[in-house]
Amino acid sequence: MEIKLICSKGCPQGFVISPNLWNPYLNQLLSLNSDTLFLQAFAGDLALVLAGRVRKELENNTNKALATIANKLRELKLDLSVDKCQGLAFRSNVHHR
């Protein structure tokens, strides 16, 4: 017997079963971590941490990381809620010798 269910909404925030549904997917996303892509999880959120020596390098690294994440999400049949995403860039004026 096969039962199919079409789900069009996520799990309510704070729902007791949320971690059990989220963790298997989260682990697959965290497996993407590499020298150039770092995902940090906290509760039900993810932070993508990237670096670049100059703006263009940071831009390229960001685009590559987002493409990698998008491919993994597609593979997992998950959508990203872009409206809930935010970006933040830090700049350092420190010059290392």
pLDDT surpassing 70 at residue 96: no
Q: Please check whether residue 65 lies inside any domain of the structure.
A: yes
Would you say the C-alpha torsion 48, 33, 56, 90 has a positive or negative sign? positive
Confidence bin at 97 (pLDDT 50/70/90): low
Contact present, 70 and 62 (Cβ < 8 Å): no
Q: Which pLDDT belongs to residue 69?
A: 93
Q: Please check whether residue 85 lies inside any domain of the structure.
A: no
Q: How many domains would you assign to the chain?
A: 1
Q: Please check whether residue 68 lies inside any domain of the structure.
A: yes
Please, which residues bridge with residue 41 across strands? 46
Q: Which of 27, 28, 32, 30 is nearest to 40 (CA)?
A: 30
**Can you give the residue range of the structural domain that contains 69?**
19-79
Q: If residue 47 lies in a helix (H) or strand (E), which one and from where to where?
A: strand 45-49
Helix (H, G, I), strand (E, B) or coil at 7: coil
Q: Please check whether residue 89 lies inside any domain of the structure.
A: no
Q: Please check whether residue 95 lies inside any domain of the structure.
A: no
Q: Please check whether residue 72 lies inside any domain of the structure.
A: yes
pLDDT tens for residues 10-48?
677 777 877 777 788 889 999 999 988 999 988 778 899
Which distant-in-sequence residues (6+ apart) come within 8 Å of 64 by Cβ?
36, 37
pLDDT tens for residues 40-78?
988 778 899 999 988 999 999 999 999 999 999 999 988
